[in-house]
Chain A
């Protein structure tokens, strides 16, 4: 069954145009002009139950807007959404009982009262029975090691502690779909890892569907079997992370350390027939960049045959670089994508 089914989803905002200067402000007072901004442009995707899907894109690409439509906060301008069998904005009150939401930038908990009191309140809001609540809470508290935090007021928690509490808060009613909007923002590596492990485990054991947006691609690498990439309100990639790497990484880099000073011209000469580029780093080291078309062993053989080498390092382009590349060439990718479809 599909957990999330989105078809031709679109969201437009009317953004007020502010004219410049005092006279502009005065004009605005009487006659406002609006710009229509389309934050999400007719996107379609489907997420089956039990999948962890990463939703990535630059700031302002429309990630949060999509999440807010999926969770029933915003009403779409057009298109169809079905989440968990509901149309989110229509049966909002019934629908949200089956989902969990964590906004990394915003707290769900009450600032002044103890964490456990917030949980108790949420128990009432979500109509969880005392018995289920206890069982669930004990599980979560044990797994996220919250034991001694429960009686502290939220404002006295560190960000990492608060984030773990937020996760618990969103899971008390045992939702089948969990939406996470930048859940690891601002957290240290230990807490990040802990949260990732926890999400992974929960997905395995209970089959919770997870949709998360993030800027930290390590989140994606650790968790997601699938990535949806958004640029300027359109989906520019939807598929596995490995495919993404294969499709977008253009080559790799090999760093050589030579025994003695080797002029760059000589290296270029050695690899003349191959489509590689050299960049000198200092007297005895240089980097060779070779596209996927060029065989690594071919290139190595030529260099090794010509000069004496102390050390070799091969750099695979990492996901950050790939994604940065895609973001930067975002518009090009879109035109390519649309011409294909």
Chain B
């Protein structure tokens, strides 16, 4: 564990050395990330200009959920920016190099792709949450901070597990799959109160592709109780996270054995 932590630090230092030399690039990335999130937020605000509540959720509550979602999403994007995994590591065969080194292959791939600017999204998310918190007049306990950390970690694990599994698919399938953009779209549904969807979608978002556990379910822990009490399921978030991540990791470990290398 200690070794992996020190490895992590080394990779971050190298990241800093390579990336911070291109300062403009760094800020553009931060800015475009924030703009992207800002657009989604504006969409929520526009929806609430037409209706005072969405499935029993007020504007501030939905924005709160969105703020919560941004925190694990930022952490996830920082450590799991492996969108190009299939192309870079499988098609171009860079996995060869990774596999000749004495550290877990997934860990190496993740470290080679860390993207710390995404972390800024998490801070913005936290600020949004804090603002909504005061606006909603929610009581504040120290326990909430602890819960927040646990729930965020659980949510990050869910994301991590799903995208690890997705990346691992490239070990089995020859051609890079177009499934990542699809997932990217589905995950967005998890940011809104799931009870506004029909049963089918709710089921999928809760149990199959548990994106609801990344946004609305854990966030509802902090909010006022609703009719169909989602907050009861909030405590499931870390459990779900461990299950999903274990499955993703297992699929990865199995997939590595199927790796076929690229030419030459």
A is bound by B: yes
- A interface residues (Cβ-Cβ under 8 A, vs B): 13, 16, 64-65, 68, 71-75, 89, 92-94, 96-97, 99, 101, 103, 105-108, 110, 112-113, 117, 120-122, 124-127
For A89, A94, A121, the residue with the greatest tally of chain B CB atoms inside 10 Å of its CB is A121
B259 proximity list for chain A (CB < 8 A): 73-74
Contacts A16-B174, A112-B18, A113-B14: A93 and B260 contacting too (C-beta < 8 A)?
Answer: no
B226 at the interface (CB under 8 A from A): no
Taking A74-B259, A92-B99 as contacts, is the C-beta distance between A106 and B10 under 8 angstroms? Answer: no
List chain B residues, Cβ under 8 A from A71. 99-100
Most central of A73, A99, A107, A112 by chain B CB within 10 Å? A73
* Alpha-carbon separation in the docked complex, A94 to B104 (Å): 10
Mask: chain B, 231-264; 1 = CB below 8 Å from A; 0 = not: 0000000000000000000000000011111001
Contact stretch, chosen from B39-47, B89-97, B160-168 = B89-97
Residue of A with least CB distance to B7: A124
User: Is B103 in the interface zone, CB < 8 Å from A?
Assistant: yes
Nearest CB on A from B260, distance (A) = 6
Q: Name the residue of chain A whose CB is nearest to the CB of B174.
A: A16
Residues of A within 8 A of B10 (CB): 120-121, 124
Most buried by B among A75, A108, A124: A124
Q: Which residue of B lies closest to A90 (CB)?
A: B257
From B263, which residue of chain A is reached at the shortest CB distance?
A: A64
**With A74-B259, A106-B94, A121-B10 given, is the CB distance from A64 to B104 under 8 Å?**
no
Instruction: Identify the 7 closest CB pairs spanning chains A and B, nearest first.
Output: A112-B18, A97-B102, A101-B100, A73-B99, A124-B10, A75-B257, A93-B102
Least distance between A33 CB and chain B CB atoms (Å): 13
Q: Which residue of A13, A65, A127 contacts B3 across the interface (Cβ within 8 Å)? A: A127
Instruction: Check if B103 sits within 8 Å of A125, measured CB to CB.
Output: yes
CA distance A94 to B17 in the complex (A): 30
CB-based contact A125/B264 at 8 Å: no
Which residue from chain A places its CB closest to the CB of B10 in the assembled complex?
Answer: A124
Q: Is B23 an interface residue (CB 8 A)?
A: no
Tell me, rounded to whole Å, the shortest Cβ–Cβ distance linking B144 to chain A. Answer: 38
- For this complex, 6 residue pairs linking A to B, each with C-beta atoms less than 8 Å apart, are A71-B100, A75-B257, A89-B257, A97-B102, A106-B93, A124-B7
User: A103 to B17, Cβ gap below 8 A?
Assistant: no
A73 touches B264 (CB 8 A): no
CB proximity of B153 to chain A, nearest CB, Å: 26
B133 within 8 A of A: no
Say whether A96 contacts B94, CB under 8 Å. Answer: no
Are A125's CB and B101's CB within 8 A? yes
Q: How many residues of B contact A (CB 8 A)?
A: 26
| Cβ contact of A103, chosen from B18, B96, B102, B104, cutoff 8 A | B96
Report if A96-B14 is in contact (Cβ < 8 Å); known contacts: A103-B97, A106-B96.
no
Nearest-Cβ distance from residue B97 to partner chain A, whole angstroms: 6
Q: B6 at interface (Cβ–Cβ under 8 A)?
A: yes
Indicate which residue in B3, B18, B94 contacts A113 across the interface (CB closer than 8 Å). B18
Which B3-18 residues have a C-beta within 8 angstroms of A?
3, 6-7, 10-11, 14, 17-18
Mark B residues whose CB is within 8 Å of A: 3, 6-7, 10-11, 14, 17-18, 93-97, 99-104, 174, 257-261, 264
Chain B residues, CB < 8 A from A101: 100
**Main secondary structure on chain A at its contact with chain B?**
mixed
- Alpha-carbon distance between A189 and B93 when the two chains are bound, in angstroms: 29
Evaluate contact between A121 and B261: CB separation under 8 angstroms.
no
13 more A-B residue pairs beyond the given contacts A64-B261, A124-B10, with a C-beta to C-beta distance below 8 A: A13-B260, A73-B99, A96-B101, A103-B96, A106-B97, A110-B14, A112-B17, A112-B18, A113-B14, A124-B6, A124-B7, A126-B102, A127-B3
B104: contacting residue among A74, A93, A117, CB under 8 A: A93
A73 to B95, CA, bound (A): 8
The CA-CA distance from A107 to B261 in the complex, in Å, is 15
Q: A residues within 8 A CB of B101?
A: 96, 122, 125-126
On whether the beta carbons of B14 and A117 are closer than 8 Å, the reply is yes
Residues of B within 8 A of A125 (CB): 7, 101-103
Q: Quick one: which of A64, A93, A99 contacts B264, CB cutoff 8 A?
A: A64
Chain A residues with CB under 8 Å of B14's CB are 110, 113, 117, 121
By beta carbon, the residue of chain A nearest B17 is A113
Give A207 Cβ to nearest chain B Cβ, in Å.
21
Is there contact, CB below 8 Å, between A68 and B96? Answer: yes
In the complex, A99→B93 CA distance in Å? 20
Report the Cα distance A268→B120, complex, angstroms. Answer: 88
The answer to whether B102 touches A73, judged by C-beta atoms less than 8 angstroms apart, is no
User: With A and B bound together, what is the CA distance between A117 and B14 in angstroms?
Assistant: 8
**A72 CA to B261 CA in the complex, in Å?**
12
Give Cα A126 to B104, complex, Å: 12
Cβ contacts under 8 Å, B3 to chain A: 124, 127
Residues on the A chain within 8 Å of B93, using CB: 106
Q: Closest CB-CB distance, A106 to chain B, in whole Å?
A: 6
Asked whether B100 lies within 8 Å of A72 as measured between CB atoms, the reply is: yes
Shortest Cβ gap from B7 to chain A (Å) = 6
B187 to chain A, nearest CB (A): 27
Residues of chain B with a CB closer than 8 A to A127's CB: 3, 102
Assess the A117–B260 pair: CB atoms within 8 A. Answer: no
- Contact partner of A74 (CB less than 8 A), chosen from B17, B97, B261, is B261
How far apart sit A70 and B100, CA to CA, in the bound complex (Å)?
11
Complex interface: chain B residues within 8 A of A124 (CB): 3, 6-7, 10
Chain A residue, CB-CB nearest to B6 = A124
Residues of B contacting A120 with CB < 8 Å? 10
Which of A68, A89, A108, A110 lies in contact with B261, CB distance below 8 A?
A: A68
